[in-house]
A and B are shown apart, each in its own frame.
Chain A
Amino acid sequence: MCVPASLLRADALANLGYSEGDLDDKTQETLHSALDHIAEWSVYKQYYCYLKDLPATPDFLQQVSYKSIQGKLDTALLFAATLGLGIDQRIRRLSLSRLSEAVVLNAVANAYLEARTDLFIKEILPGAVLFCPGYAGTSPEDNRSVLKLLDAQKHLGIYPKDSGLMLPEKSMAGIVVANYRFSCRACNIRSKCDYLRQGKTCYGTKAAHD
């Protein structure tokens, strides 16, 4: 699976609100079963290209909402990854018959996609992070541009929807940026950010330091 099960467990449990000490036997069993589902039903695929190799900087990256990464595009790359449709279908199916297992599998699948992507990014651009459209006031609809530029439909089977969602659902797309640190300080929707008001951030860690 390429990702240590212990890491996946920890991330998935954190998504579900658990700490290791809270884990009951039944959830433990469900977690094992979710890891089996991931091994059997998911196929991690990724595709990327360097921005410098494109004829011009894509229009969407020239918007002001991307100002925090605009100075770092020389080494950046466009990236997309997916776990494929099989795992989506498995979650949908479980949600009809055993919803508690579906919820756990959903959390594990999210953790797996992120962990595999982190590992891959470490390989191709050490120290870089994946900046996904939707972060820091950027529009999730820009996913469409990333996917189009990568021809992700052909290479990965990722289909963009009008709403900016992607199919398969366990997919991610964005810009891999080196020497970047997520921060709310530079964000231009900071004053009206609902995440921030709740002490959270759009990129997943607590906002206390900001």
Chain B
Amino acid sequence: MPDPVSKNIQLFDGAIGTILTADPEVNSYSPEELNILFPEKILAIHKAYVEAGAQFITTNTFSANPIKLNSSRFSLHEVLDAAIMLARQAVGDCSCKIMLNIGPTGKLLEPLGDLSFEETFENYKTVVEYTRDKVEGYVLETFSDLYEIRAAVLAVKENSTLPLMATMTFDTTGRTLTGSSPEIVALTLTALGVDVPGINCSTSPEYLIPLVKRMRAFTHLPLLVQPNKGFPVLCQGSVSYAMSDKDFVYYTGKLIDAGASIVGGCCGTTPATIALMAKYKSLPLKEYAPPADSYICSSTRLLKLQQGLVCGERLNPTGKKKLQQALLNNDFGYLQQEALSQQEAGAHFLDLNVGIPNADEVDLLCRAIKKIQEICDLPLQLDSSNTAAIEAALRVYNGVPVINSINGSRTVLKSMLPLLAKYGASAVALTLDEQGIPETVEGRLRIAKRIITRASTYGINKKKLLFDALVMAVSSNQNYGRLTLDTLRNLKKMGVLTTIGLSNVSFGLPDRPLLNRSFLLMALTSGLDIPILNPLDKENMQSFKAFNALAGRDPACENYIASHSSEPVHEQSDSLYQVVLSGLKESLAPAMDKKLKEKEPQQIINEDLIPALDEVGLRFEKKHVFLPQLIRSAEVARQAFQQLGELYIQQTDKTQGLVVLATVQGDIHDIGKNIVKIVLESHGYRVMDLGKNVDPEKVVEAYRTHRPLAIGLSALMTTTVPSMSRTVEALKALNAECPVIVGGAVITESLAREMGADHYAADALTAVRILEEL
């Protein structure tokens, strides 16, 4: 296998597209087709780069993948064969290595776009399978989405043993299009086993110097840097790059000083530019150490694993019927809200467990990860005892996660350590093994040492492991608390990070929050670094912050002070009617407490909530209040309904009924639909939210399965009206007994009628009125 890295700075080639665009004879063709239509032009460019001194020649295949070539007159194989043959011909007998150039698909991946991670993987896999015996390595270039390059990296790594270079492009804010920083890119690509990460295209080379320094701090690997030759300038209909070759070469020197190991050029560079850079080939390559600390990340948030962090425990259906039911119904909204609540409460990363009896955990965990990463940027701790679920989750997780968990069992280590090594993940390491949980500190430490030793054979540093001292219920054995504390003290002597799942300690005893809080402080004093706890328990979090301030872990007591800074004073009321009318979220709890002492839940609904909502509706219709105020009232009323809901259902054995809502296929705007949802819920209706971009079949399936009171469809764009029509048609073809209500910015009464909908709702309140009349 060729080694792409020597002891000296190495030289890549430069742009191909720039030269082709400037050639009027060929600039109307796609560059890939030119491999076949004008092979002599491509050959000449490759030869010029070889003569300029480039040691790596990239094939002219930036867009040669099934997704991008789908409308080409040539097949993928024809293009790849021709491109590789031309590069081979140009290189001849010299020692240049031929790297197959792979670019992005030109589509955005889910959840931002339509392309699935799996489709993206398959797209690149097709290319790699066909070319792995024909080139000396792969270079992924100009990716702007960390998730897309993840799919491409896995496709190369799993289908070839060739060296892999992977570079991303950053804008002037120093982030990729989807918001990843250079640190996150370096960390993730290194974790995935890329041989050479790097930066290409992006902005002018001088802007890349700080970005290269930032990447360098997060990887020991050689870095490939290929900047544009300055910023593009549009002139006479064509793009040109203003920087001189001399300046470009000067900045290349600075990039090498900053940590670049292989240098080349992107847009605007030519063989002349590369020839001037050849002087750097005599410079010795510096060696770089891996980062001293251990990090995890999502695609936009980096987190150093260290004492003082909190892992939120609430994304776990154990003992939570509502969450279980939501997951079984594919309703991830509840999970997403739990994630956001924990983030707002101060959690630094979140444990995610979706283990439900009889559910397909592999599929469920992957979908839950995607849904949470869609709205919450905290890194995740993927929690499952199912190895297949963990492996699938590691593939689709965008970033570098923690795995919960591994333990000292030989079987577990054998199956899990290779996965940790492949994906560069961290892990919670339980101090138990196939024999069970040791009843002594020594037993637990012995297992910890075994895990460290076995992990090191896979190249996994102990800094990537969070050792769980194991907490068991003191109600069953009163020595268990002390055993955990002693284990923590001794684990710290081994120089590792520690964690515990706090709330187990109080199982079976009254006033669990008091015990949890007390044990938290004891454990922190004994060496606990990262508790896994409920961050919504305010007293727990305050104790944690107080401990950090007192233990010197909170510089200038900043976090402690921030958590005690006075909240803005809002209007307050203890009248539930007024609280709903004015949308006073902060006053809801005391107002509800007071009202529940006076009345039955059903009375509260009929005499306070409904009249308040009616009044808000009236004021909205008269334009005395406006949309944000209407929504605030609805949000408060919904919370009140949730609190009263179960009691009410028990007493009356009825609810207002189920309404299915969806934003139609092709439409990704869902604010309008969300407003309708919250207003319906605030009026006591149960809502099944199918989300946005929903195909007609899914709406039909929801009708068949749930037989709702009504179905509401939303569309914002004119272009998605046909999709709404198709959905209405599909429902009418079934002779669906429930009415279909349509609305959205572009929908009018006449359009609704034309498409055969039963009702048109201009706004959320109209939808409520329609439902009330059914």
**Residue positions of A touching B, CB distance < 8 A:** 16-18, 22, 24-27, 29-30, 43, 45, 48-50, 53-55, 84-86, 88-89, 91-93, 95-104, 106, 134, 140-141, 153, 155, 157, 159, 161-165, 167, 169, 194, 197-198
Contacts and interface: CB of A to CB of B under 8 A. Distances in A.
Interface in B708-737: 717-720, 723
B666 A95 contact: no
Contacts of B336: 96
A30 B341 CA distance: 19
A137 to B, nearest CB: 10
Interface string B228-244: 00001010111000000
A92 B628 contact: no
Interface of B: 28, 106-108, 112-114, 144, 171, 173, 177-179, 232, 234, 236-238, 333, 336-337, 340-341, 344, 374-376, 568, 570-571, 583, 623-629, 631-632, 635, 666-671, 674-675, 678, 717-720, 723, 746, 748, 750-751
Contacts of B114: 161-162
Contacts of A22: 623-624, 626
A167 B113 contact: yes
B570 A155 contact: no
A39 B667 CA distance: 27
Nearest to A101: B628
B667 A163 contact: yes
Given A22-B626, A54-B237, A165-B667, A97 B341 contact: yes
Nearest to B584: A26
B671 A106 contact: yes
Given A85-B177, A102-B671, A161-B114, A26 B108 contact: no
A156 B234 CA distance: 14
Q: 3 tightest CB-CB pairs across the interface, nearest first? A: A53-B237, A163-B666, A157-B177
Contacts of A45: 171
Nearest to A141: B719
A159 B237 contact: no
B526 to A, nearest CB: 36
B568 A30 contact: no
6 contacts: A29-B568, A86-B179, A140-B717, A159-B113, A165-B666, A167-B108
A161 B718 contact: no
Nearest to B114: A161
A100 B173 contact: no
B108 A159 contact: yes
Contact of A99 (B177, B624, B667, B678): B678
Contacts of A96: 333, 336-337, 340, 375
The winner among B28, B333, B624, B675 for most chain A CB atoms within 10 A is B675
B671 A103 contact: yes
A68 to B, nearest CB: 18
A77 to B, nearest CB: 10
A99 B631 contact: yes
A17 B237 contact: no
Given A27-B626, A53-B236, A99-B675, A164 B719 contact: yes
Taking chain A's interface residues, is the majority helix, strand, or loop, or is none over half, making it mixed? helix
A55 B669 CA distance: 36
Given A84-B177, A99-B674, 9 more contacts: A25-B571, A53-B237, A55-B237, A96-B337, A104-B628, A140-B718, A159-B108, A159-B113, A194-B746
B21 to A, nearest CB: 11
A17 B668 contact: no
A91 to B, nearest CB: 7
A153 to B, nearest CB: 6
A153 B106 contact: yes
A46 to B, nearest CB: 12
A88 B232 CA distance: 27
Contacts of A104: 628
Contacts of B668: 161, 165, 167, 169
Contacts of A54: 237
Contacts of A162: 114, 666
A157 B180 CA distance: 14
Contacts of B374: 92
Contacts of B376: 93
A97 B337 contact: yes
A17 B626 contact: yes
A85 B717 contact: no
B336 to A, nearest CB: 5
Contacts of B570: 26
Contact of A30 (B106, B628, B719): B628
A48 B675 CA distance: 36
Contacts of B678: 99
A134 B718 contact: yes
Given A16-B626, A161-B113, A161-B666, A92 B375 contact: yes
B727 to A, nearest CB: 14
Contacts of B113: 159, 161, 167
Contacts of A89: 179, 375
The winner among A84, A92, A163 for most chain B CB atoms within 10 A is A163
Nearest to A49: B234
A17 B667 contact: no
A163 B695 CA distance: 13
Contact of B628 (A85, A103, A140): A103
B171 A43 contact: yes
Contacts of A101: 628
B590 to A, nearest CB: 18
Nearest to A153: B106
The winner among B568, B624, B629, B635 for most chain A CB atoms within 10 A is B629
A55 B376 CA distance: 46
B635 A100 contact: yes
Contacts of B112: 85, 88, 167
